[in-house]
Structure 1
Amino acid sequence: MPGAPGAPGAPGIGGTAPGGPSRADAAGAPGAVPGAPGGAARAAQGTGLPGFTYTEADAEKQRGVRRMKATATGLLLLVAVVFALATWAENSGAGAWAGYVAAAAEAGMVGALADWFAVTALFRHPLGIPIPHTAIIPHKKDQLGASLGSFVGENFLSEDVVRARLRGVGIGRRLGAWLAEPAHADRVTAELATALRGALTVLRDSDVQAVVGEAITRRAEAAEIAPGVGKTLQKVVADGAHHRAVDLICARAHDWLVLHADSVMDAVEGGAPGWTPRFVDRKVGERVYRELLRFVTEMRDMPGHPARAAIDRFLGDFAGDLQSDTETRERVERLKSELLGRTEIQDVIASAWSSVRDMILAAAGDDRSELRLRARASLLSLGAKLASDARLQSKVDGWVEDAAVYVVTTYRTEITSLISDTVASWDAEHTSRKIEAHIGRDLQFIRINGTVVGALAGLAIHTVAHAFGG
């Protein structure tokens, strides 16, 4: 029956006489919080689990429970006194009214005692007697934890619930509005820069260099470069972009010949037969030098020189061979492999990471660097677009929903087991006391209600019985 107060001298909720301290508390059990009423406010006599302690807030709630127990017990004592007085008055011939009052008081006591029993049975055995189906919370703690975990998994971690909740939040729109604020974009940029610097600092250069070198080498070896080089060269020749290079080579060749005339003539003389006279060799050397100088000068000064046209044809043919001639392509691949296998090339590839790392660290540490300014501008642009583009918002919301649904559906058992395993690891006594501290005050109202409702029911039954019984 809802709400009966505790009987005098009988343990109330928490194993106490209604309104009074428990036997353990009265004994001054160790661990009591100074200033808290009895052992009911024992603060840190928890289970060893972080966060599961009997705190000062719990002690304050327990004090409220004690006050309500005193009220419920006082009401029980009041109806007991009323019952005794009404019974005495009825037996003394005071009149019919005494019978009605006695019946109401008697039913009120019954309701109070019944509800005291029901409330106490949640947390312990009433009067210490191991009556079946009492001390429910201590005995059924693990089952309650498992049931709570299953309830959460079925009703809060289902796909429909997660999607509906996230869809109502509007994460994409809110994120866009937040990122569109310059101060927020600055904050995100600074945090990203800090994270980037931290990651680069933690990474070992030797490991990264090895990975980068292997990745570049493997990719270069896997990809055939001849066709790509051929297409590029073909476009260069078609656009005439190589003419500047030819101009530079001709100009440098002319200057070199002017500065090293003696060297050229000595080379010609040195290649002459031994039986020719020296002056003949000299004349031949001078003639060869003059012709060579004239040829290079004409190439330098005449854009339409036949030799230049021959270079164009050669480059065009070579570009075509790079794309279609099997032998040429194979020779290029062999050359590529030889170059990649050289220590000097591998050192250059590996050292590229050091240069990139230093560049990124410097840019990340400078709040006016191009990297950070571009990152900030990108965040502001993304925020503005997210805040106004419903289609993009829908995409972001969909991504978030899919990710959340994947997590809750894939790891639902692990999530719910956190509840059941945590409850199972709690000490039964302390679990009961903590729950009692939080809901015990409301349960005492059940006892009060039981007293009142029982008295009214008893009065009604007594009235009906007398009305129909004559």
Structure 2
Amino acid sequence: MKIFTRVPGSDAPPPALVRMRLVATGLLVLMASLFLVARALQPAHPGFGFLRAFAEAAMVGGLADWFAVTALFRHPLGLPIPHTALVPRNKDRIGDTLAAFLRSNFLLPGIVARRMRRIDVAGSVGRWLADPQGGGGGRLRLGAGRLAGDMLEALDQERLGGMAKSTIAQRLRSLDIAPLVGQALDAAIAKDRHVPLLNGIVRWAGRTLEANEHLVRQMVHERAGSIMRWTGLDETLANKIIDGLDQMLAEMAVDPGHPLRGKAEEGLRQLAFDLQYDADMQARVDRLKLEIIDNPAMQRWIDGLWEQARQALIRIARDPEAGRDGRLAEALKALGSTLQTDARLRTTINRFFRRAAVGIVADYGDGIVRLVSETIRSWDADTITRRLENAVGRDLQYIRVNGTLVGGLVGLVLHAIDLAI
């Protein structure tokens, strides 16, 4: 059954319904005209008797079906005939019956679970992520994507964002970061990947010393005795200290085997070991991690991270072309391929969606049923009558046409039988 598209908020009959109503009424008028002509010409030739019988029976069939179709939505000719205007008179019962039908046939956990078992949600998502434009159903995917984007924008961002940010923070809190950092540092040292870090530290120390020479001179001057300050030895000592530090940093920068670099590497190895195996070090790192997570700056970073992810999801959902390039697109395509090839992951995700759907039905099924029933009850009789008539009226007009033609054929058969007898 086709539901006709109308302008939102308008209850005017669709053009197709108006056309079919004119066709059915015009056919009834044609049968009446044929009946009058055939009745006038019947004495001239017996064949006009068949035409009269056809037209007469067609009028009866057409009028009967017109009465039946009209009686669904209003009183025929405005007469308060019993058992007419069925829809407006039984509006509340129709709403309750429709709600009960939905509850008993669609919103039972067992029914939803059985139907969800036949739906490969993870596979469909995987195919779409791997190739958003490929295969059939491009318009359906685009419409679904835009719907998903609208839903992401329409959802309560405070609540949704709070859930997402709470999940991120919870995962960070539960992450045992010290062993991971220790293993990464161990692997970096084993492959000399720490050397650029040491070089960077040495260069940074050199620039820092050059920019803060005045502080070194001030510290030596404040700690020197009055005799050293009077003789100027404090300035000489400060210059020696600065020159010595500068020379040491220069040697460390050019000599990979410098003893201090060796001490630094030894310290890094010890740090990597402690991060992996020392409980006290792991506890200190964990406390530092928690302090960083609770820091307002970190919370603002998580807020920005969630908002960037949400905006990226909205852009990709509404315009799959926008997400076809870049690292994010590559990651999504890789995820899509994984969802298609990894049977265990696909089963786990499908099971999650199935349980989520069943849980929603179990928790909110009665609420959905009440919503349907109460919504229909809130409509006035004229509104529901117009909407139902606009939705199914065209098919009902076909019933009038069929009733007219079938009635005429029955009239022909009866007329032939009458002549034969």
TM-score (norm 1): 0.46
Q: What is aligned with 1:245?
A: 197
Number of residue-to-residue matches in the alignment: 334
Q: What is aligned with 1:55?
A: 18
Q: What is aligned with 1:229?
A: 181
Contact 1:112 1:454 in 2 (8 A): no
Q: Aligned to 1:55, what secondary structure does the other structure show? A: helix
From 282, 288, 302, the counterpart of 2:255 = 302
Q: What is aligned with 1:131?
A: none
Distance 1:196 1:271 in 2: 67
Cα gap change, 1:459 to 1:317, in 2 (>3 Å): same
- How far 1:317 moved relative to its partner? 1.0
User: Could you list the per-position Cα deviations for residues 86-114 of structure 1 after superposition, in whole angstroms to 9, with x for gaps in the alignment?
Assistant: xxxxxxxxxxxxxxx9xxx9xx98x9989
Moved more, 67-76 or 325-334: 67-76
From 413, 418, 421, the counterpart of 1:453 = 413
Aligned pairs (5 A) from 1:221-300: 221-254=173-206, 264=216, 267-268=219-220, 270-271=222-223, 282=234, 288=241, 291-300=244-253
Contact 1:261 1:289 in 2 (8 A): yes
Distance 1:74 1:235 in 2: 103
- How far 1:287 moved relative to its partner? 5.8
The letter for the 2-side match of 1:454 is L
Q: What is aligned with 2:31?
A: 68
Q: What is aligned with 2:280?
A: 327
RMSD: 6.8
Q: Aligned to 1:316, what secondary structure does the other structure show? A: helix
TM-score (norm 2): 0.50
Distance 1:443 1:197 in 2: 47
Q: Aligned to 1:322, what secondary structure does the other structure show? A: helix
User: Could you list the per-position Cα deviations for residues 402-441 of structure 1 after superposition, in whole angstroms to 9, with x for gaps in the alignment?
Assistant: 99xx99xx99x99x9999x9999549xx99x988854445
The letter for the 1-side match of 2:179 is P
Contact 1:230 1:322 in 2 (8 A): yes
Distance 1:326 1:435 in 2: 78
Aligned pairs (5 A) from 1:125-204: 138=84, 179=133
- How far 1:243 moved relative to its partner? 1.7
Higher helix share: 2
Cα gap change, 1:199 to 1:116, in 2 (>3 Å): closer
The letter for the 2-side match of 1:457 is I
Contact 2:216 2:242 in 1 (8 A): yes
- Higher Rg of the two aligned structures: 1
Contact 1:115 1:446 in 2 (8 A): yes
Distance 1:358 1:446 in 2: 61
- How far 1:238 moved relative to its partner? 1.8
Q: Unaligned regions of 5+ residues in structure 2, if any? A: 1-8, 69-80, 341-345
From 286, 294, 307, the counterpart of 1:341 = 294
Larger RCO (CA within 8 A; separation ≥ 6) = 2
Aligned pairs (5 A) from 1:394-405: none
Q: Aligned to 1:231, what secondary structure does the other structure show? A: helix
Distance 2:168 2:26 in 1: 72
Distance 2:244 2:201 in 1: 18
The letter for the 2-side match of 1:55 is V
Distance 1:256 1:140 in 2: 90
Distance 1:210 1:264 in 2: 49
Cα gap change, 1:306 to 1:347, in 2 (>3 Å): same
Contact 2:65 2:403 in 1 (8 A): no
Q: What is aligned with 1:14?
A: none
Distance 1:177 1:216 in 2: 28
The letter for the 2-side match of 1:220 is L
Contact 1:226 1:323 in 2 (8 A): yes
